[in-house]
Amino acid sequence: MPGIDPDKVPHHVAIIMDGNGRWAKARGLPRTAGHHAGVERVREAVRTAREAGIANLTLFAFSSENWNRPKEEVQDLMGLLRFFIRRDLAELHKQNVRVRVIGCRETIQSDIRPLLIEAEERTVANTGLVLAIAFNYGARDELTRAMRAIAVGVAEGRIDPATITEADIDCHLDTAAMPDPDLVIRTSGEQRLSNFLLWQSAYSEFVFMPCYWPDFDRAAFHEALAEYGRRNRRFGALAAPGLAVGQ
């Protein structure tokens, strides 16, 4: 890929897809138009990730706080999710993409839950890009649910609290068996995590793009990857001369 060292491609990229509403407002369009345009960028982001050799791509699609948005907007977002799965699942499966869904499922609408399960089950054996959709997701909620599960294990005598490690916490998170993100990208110019992958992004690199999500095209993705490739990741230690990113 032009301008990107193949030895410095991140294994896991997580993206906070922000700015759909502002993109639409700047064009005198309803917020829903921004969400529809954003879906097209999801498709392009998946293609770009596969081309770049990225193994894991996590997209922050709908947060647990987004239910507080106007009812009409939430309904439109749910409709877009249904449309995306019904239209794109076959193509993702054909491309050997494995779909995972992270987030709390208990409060998801009953007609959407089976679609999410279908997406996961249909692609579970695929060995290509892992596409994780963060839906009804909040990192504090994720950590709370993980702590509850560990607490149950302690109460039942299956877990010794004195031996709990970071790895034990990892395996109780929604992202269990996925590597932590090497790179977290946020569009729209905002510079915060907004309750996204708080535990997992402890040593992630962050790239904040000024463009709104509907404008985050292939070139913008390449720009973010190139910036990542210029970083010297030390993980709290001194980097050895010539050490490649991610090593």
What count of Cα atoms within 13 Å lies in the side-chain half-sphere of residue 242? 0
The pLDDT score that the predictor gives to residue 244 is 47
| Residue 27 clears pLDDT 70, i.e. is over it | yes
Residue 145 falls inside a structural domain: no
Residue 151 falls inside a structural domain: no
Total structural domains in the chain? 1
The pLDDT score that the predictor gives to residue 239 is 54
Q: Output 23 or 86, whichever has higher pLDDT.
A: 23
Residue 158 falls inside a structural domain: no
CATH number of the structural domain spanning residue 92 = 3.40.1180.10
The pLDDT score that the predictor gives to residue 1 is 56
DSSP readout, 198-229?
TTTTTT-EEEE-SS-GGG--HHHHHHHHHHHH
Per-residue pLDDT tens over the stretch 81-119 = 888 888 899 999 999 999 999 999 887 877 888 899 999
Please tell me the least confidently modeled range out of 2-6, 116-120, 217-221, 225-229.
2-6
Catalytic residue, chosen from 18, 76, 88, 182, is 18
Per-residue pLDDT tens over the stretch 163-213 = 999 999 999 999 999 999 999 999 999 999 999 999 999 999 999 999 999
Instruction: List all residues 6 or more positions away from 178 whose beta carbon is below 8 Å from its beta carbon.
Output: 12, 56, 58, 100, 130, 132
Residue 211 falls inside a structural domain: yes
Instruction: List all residues 6 or more positions away from 216 whose beta carbon is below 8 Å from its beta carbon.
Output: 17, 41, 45, 187, 209
Whose tokens are 């647990």? That residue is 64
237 three-class SS: coil
Range(s) of the domain holding residue 185: 7-137+181-228
Instruction: List all residues 6 or more positions away from 19 whose beta carbon is below 8 Å from its beta carbon.
Output: 34, 187, 188, 189, 190, 211, 212, 213, 214
Residue 171 falls inside a structural domain: no
| Residue 241 clears pLDDT 90, i.e. is over it | no
Residue 63 annotated as part of some ligand binding site: yes
Confidence of residue 245 (pLDDT cuts 50, 70, 90): very low
Residue 136 annotated as part of some ligand binding site: no
H or E stretch at 182? none
The pLDDT score that the predictor gives to residue 75 is 84
Residue 157 annotated as part of some ligand binding site: no
Is 61:81 a contact under the CB 8 Å cutoff? yes
The pLDDT score that the predictor gives to residue 106 is 82
232 tagged catalytic: no
Residue 69 annotated as part of some ligand binding site: yes
160 tagged catalytic: no
Residue 169 falls inside a structural domain: no
What is the pTM assigned to this prediction? Answer: 0.91
Catalytic residue, chosen from 66, 126, 170, 195, is 66
Average pLDDT over residues 6-34: 95
Residue 41 annotated as part of some ligand binding site: no
The pLDDT score that the predictor gives to residue 195 is 96
Pairing of the two strands 205-208 and 183-186: parallel
Residue 163 falls inside a structural domain: no
Residue 204 falls inside a structural domain: yes
Rounded CA separation 25/209 (Å): 19
